Structure formats: C-alpha cells, structure tokens
Structure 1
Amino acid sequence: MAKVLLTGATGFVGSSLLKTLKEIESFQVVMAIRKTRVAVDSSTFVVGDIDGATDFSTALTDVDVVIHCAARAHVMCDDVADPLDEYRRVNVAGTLNLAQQAAKCGVKRFIFISSIKVNGESTTNSPIFSASSLPAPLDPYGQSKAEAEQALLELSQETKMEVVIIRPPLVYGPAVKANFASLFNIVSRGIPFPFACICNNKRSLVSVTNLVDLIITCIDHPKAANQIFLVSDDHDISTSEMVREMATALEKPTWQIPVPLWCYTLAGKLFSKSDIVDRLTGSLQVDITHTKETLGWTPKETLQEGFKKTAVAFIKSKSSR
C-alpha cells in the first residue's frame, strides 16, 4: 500500500482527488492543510501557511508520494502590493521547501499540479501548446508556476526523488466556481449571449474527473517519472459551442446574438480590457499526444459527460439554497 500526502485537499481539485483516492484500497492518504476547516484526525496535519518556512516533517513520515495541489491561485484583480512576490512566496518557495523536505524523508515521487499558464495565455495564430513547448508565462501566477517547475526539475537531478508535472487548462466540474459557474448561471436563466460570432476559436478544457484520473495514473506509472504532462478532455470547443453545450447539459434553450468580433476588440481597447476580450474570443489549445502515448492514458469522461455532471450539481445546489 502506497502512502500519499496530499496538499490542497480542501480545494476544488484536491477535494475531488481526496474522495477518489479514499475509494482505492491500495492507497493510504494523509493530508496537509493550512487551517482546521475539516475534522482533524490521524490522517490530517495542520501545517499553517505554506511558504519557505513551513514544517512538513510530521506529515511526511513514511510517505511514498506527495501530490502538491496547494497553491496561491490565479487572482484576476489582485490587490496586494507586489503580486509576483506573493505568488513566489507560496508557489515557488513553498513548493520547493516541501519538495526538499520530501526528498530528505525518502519520498519516491513528487507530483506537482502546475498550470497551462506556464506555456502562455493564448494559441491564437500560434502553435498549439505541447509538452515540448518552451515556457512563456505572461502573468505573475504563470511565472511563479514556471519557476516552481524549474526548481523541482533541478531538485530531481540532485536527489533520488522523481518529479511529475501536470499542466491543466481551465478545470471544471461539480462545485466549480468563478467564471465557469457564472456562465452556467446565466445559461440556466435563458439570458441571450452575444457569442454567435465567436465560433472559430478553440479552447481546451479538462473535467476534474479526467484531471484526477491522470493524477492517480501518475502516482505509480513507471514512465511518468520526471515528465511534464499536458491534460485536457481531448475535445476543443469554441466559446459559442461551450455555451450550447452548457445549455444542452442544463436542458435549457439558448439564444446567441451575432455581435461581430470587431466590436469586442474595440470595446477591449476602449475600456482597457483587451486581455479579457482575448480570453473570450481567442484560442488556447493543448496537445495531449505526449500524455496519451507515454502513459497509455485517455480521458475517461467526455466533455458532454463532464458538462452534464456539472449541470446536475449546479441544479442541485440551486434547489438547496
């Protein structure tokens, strides 16, 4: 039985991963959490804030594999004085500190949940991101994840601990929040979207079910060692298609108004929101060929199945309010 230490177990991805791991008899799971949000027992260790000084020694006892989901998440409107410094404190120093302690404790493998933002923000008029694409982060969050990746790969060369890096794009599923949840809410109300003309861009998404399945595959797969994996549902869609898929999952009609793309571009420039417009109208695609061929892995859940599960959970949450 492999003993797994999971950080970020109370987060969106971490909580789903924790639930699945606990259903597999071959894994013993322990958690390192920042605050006592859950009942603390022998499998839970409160380590406080994660940074370069956090002590993980007790939580790492006899651990075989660390799955590091905890991070300072991407913040759209960051109000701290120096966002990059804050991201580095948690995502770089905190990650390297945990990894160094893990290596000293004899941990065999360290799985790091990174972000496609390491590769950049867009593949509009440029090659699709692949495992061999050079890092090109454009914001403090992506830069911190890229620096953490580099530090981990260097550590793997200095120690016997194997490192696995996974870069997901937008992750969705039951209990998803932020913009994806807001879109579901608007679609559920039947409000028309001005997205009919945003039909030629392509976005890669990944359901939390598929991401969790890949993470679990990487726990003991011999070919995963010291590799970087991109992940998606392997079904890229346009913004207009995404709204239609949401409506289908919710069993709601949807109306989309044909607003020309130049209107979005102009609005973005006028209101200094070009980055938001680019995310809405542009493309961000990932090529998961390396992941599939190296691990013999394919997404277990289709995009339509993932949207349906998200819709069912969304409807259930609304009815319980």
Structure 2
Amino acid sequence: MNKHILVTGGSGFVGSALIKRLLSEHRDILAVGRSDVNLPVETVKVSSFSELGALGQRLGSVDVVVHCAARAHIMNDDTVDPLAEYRKVNVDGTLNVARHALEAGVKRFLFVSSIKVNGEHTSPGRPFTEEAVPAPEDPYGISKYEAERELQALCAETGMELVIIRPPLVYGPGVKGNFASMIRLMEKGLPLPLGAVRNKRSLVALDNLVDLIVTCVDSPAAANQVFLAADGQDISTTELLRNVANAMGKPARLLPVPSGLLMLGASLFGKKAVAKRLLGSLQVDISKARELLGWQPPVSVEEGLAWAVRVN
C-alpha cells in the first residue's frame, strides 16, 4: 500500500532529504512548513505549527505524519528564556500537529526527536539505549523529552500509533553548524591540537537517518516504539577529522596534544562545554532497530563523510 505521508519541516536539512527519498519511490507526499520547499511536491505554508488552519481538509487523506520540524539546537542561545522558546515550537507546536493528525484520523505519527533526550555523554563501553533513563541537560534536550512524554500520553489515550527516533549529530550534504565549521577548518589546512583524542562518538549520516525513517513509516513492528539512530560505527574526534581530510584529498594537520591539557585550557577560557563535545564520548546502541525492524545503515561513515564533503 502506498501510504500518503505528510512531512513537516520539508525545507529543512532532514525534511528535504526525506522528501527527495520519498519522491524517488513515487510516494504520495504533502509537505508542511514555514518556508518554500522548492521540490516538486504539494506544499502547505504555515506561519507556525501552532496555527494549522491552512491545512484545511488535506489531513483527511494522510496515513502517516513525519514531524521533522523543530527549533534546532542553538549554541550560546542568548534569548531571555531559552527553554520557553524551545517549548513553543518543540512541545506546543508538536502537540498541535499531533492533535490535528488525530482529529483527521491519521494512523501513525513519527516524531524525529534527539539523542539529547538520553543525555550529553556516555561512559566508555556503556552506550545509550532506548531503555536508559532519560537525562536531558540543555533546554533543547528538555523540550524534546517533554514533547515525547506528551505525545506518548496522547497516543496512549487515543490509539494513534507513535514512533520516536532519536538521532545524534546528523551530517550530510548541506550540513550546517559545528560540523560545517569543522569542514571549513580542514579545508583551510589549519593545524589543530586534536591528534590524540581517543573518545568514541556515534554520528548518523543523513541517508542513514532517512532510511530509518522510511523503514519506520512502513514497518508494522515500529508502532509505539522508540529507536536510536546511528551509523553503527563509532569513531574518535581524531579519526573523524582524518576521515574528513581524506575525503577532501588534503593532509590532516593534527597535533597530538593530550586531552587533559586541552580540557584544562578550554576551562580557563570558558569553553568547557565545547571541549566536552570534542573530547568526550557519546555512543549509541542501534541493536533494537536492527533486531526489531531488520534495519541496517546502508551508508558507511566513510561514504557519508565523502558525500557530505563533496557537496558542501
């Protein structure tokens, strides 16, 4: 059966990639967002996800909603009350979409959440799993966790199927933020003091995340489940930088400075949080998706990085 799929955040990093994949499979798609999608798909523009009147009766034919839209994580957020701002979009907006879907008889709601619901760091050899007690630390992670809980309560009361996917850092063509900054640094060939970092981090290539989303759209086994997403290959920051440089055909100029010394220096300059992301571990166990859905990441880390670097 060709399910009719509504994708929110269709102009965003994940949403646009998902729509391209669905178009390649000749799926019936409706995109909803606050800006133009610029893809050959029916699109409804809304001013915010708290105001969905523009959808009209279109939701009546939708089988699955994939909610990619969100207020993304912002480093050094300088708003007066960051948590309140995240809640407006990531909790209130999400619940409004879910309620409209419920009223229209949508069968399944898929929520793209974040690994930040689990927490920020893992101990060596103890990756995050779906069963771990959530421990979000920053406003973004807290808002995503609150949205998950509200959705679970709503769907438990009504019978609409809920699927939650928590990705770690997503990279791919068009990636922005810290990952794009890292690519630019490697492109310039600047020496970096990150040649002796022995942490372990899970990432997820955009194609792998999209593939898991599509699997969860179609699989009956995904109903009312939480899944963690990742490439299935954990790498250190040093290995990541070397792989990026290799994909560019450039030398990796990495100085072997001890991680302890880097953390000390970062603390002195008020950059401890940044250093923790570069030097700390965050591992994700994707065994549940593999075993319950029969899913395997189709793209390797090396392939995903090569594609991201070529396009960016």
TM-score range, shorter chain: over 0.9
Q: Where does the alignment leave 5 or more consecutive residues of structure 1 unmatched?
A: 315-321
- Tell me the equivalent position of 2:177: 178
1:233 is aligned to 231
Partner deviation per Cα, 1:269-290 (whole Å, 9 max, x = no partner):
2122211111110000000001
Q: C-alpha distance in 2, partners of 1:170/1:144? A: 17
Q: The residue matched to 2:7 in structure 1 has which SS? A: strand
Aligned residue among 255, 258, 265 for 1:257: 255
Contact 2:6/2:32, CA 8 A, preserved across alignment: yes
Structure-2 separation of matches of 1:178 and 1:250: 19
Does the CA-based 8 Å contact 1:57-1:101 persist in structure 2? no
Please list every run of at least 4 consecutive aligned residues from structure 1 whose deviation after the TM superposition is greater than 2 angstroms: 37-42, 53-59, 124-127
2:19 is equivalent to residue 21 of structure 1: no
Structure 2 regions of 5+ residues with no counterpart? none
Give the root-mean-square deviation of aligned CA atoms.
Answer: 1.6
Question: TM-score, normalised on structure 2?
Answer: 0.95
The 2-side partners of 1:230 and 1:166 are apart by: 6
Kindly provide the amino acid, as one letter, of the partner of residue 33 in structure 2: I
Q: CA offset at residue 42 of structure 1?
A: 7.8
Please show how residues 128-167 of structure 1 align to structure 2 within 5 Å. Answer: 128-167=127-166
Offset, 1:33 = 1.2
2:66–2:111: 8 Å Cα contact kept in structure 1? yes
Asked if 1:278 is matched to 2:279, the reply is no
Residue correspondences, number? 310
Residue 309 of structure 2 aligns with which residue? 311
Deviations 1:60-81 (A, max 9, x none): 1311000000000001121211
Aligned-residue offset at 1:126:
7.6
Secondary structure of the residue aligned to 1:123 is: coil
Q: What is the DSSP-based 3-state SS (H/G/I as helix, E as strand, rest coil) of the residue aligned with 1:257?
A: coil
- Structure 2 CA distance, aligned partners of 1:105 and 1:116? 30
Cα distance between partner residues in 1 of 2:56 and 2:158: 18
**1:4 corresponding residue in structure 2:** 5
Aligned-pair identity in percent equals: 50
Q: Which amino acid aligns with 1:30?
A: L
CA contact (8 A) 2:31 2:37 kept: no
Change (3 A) 1:264 1:158: same
SS in 2 for 1:61: helix
CA–CA distance in structure 1, aligned partners of residues 18 and 38 of structure 2: 18
Match of 1:223 among 193, 201, 221: 221
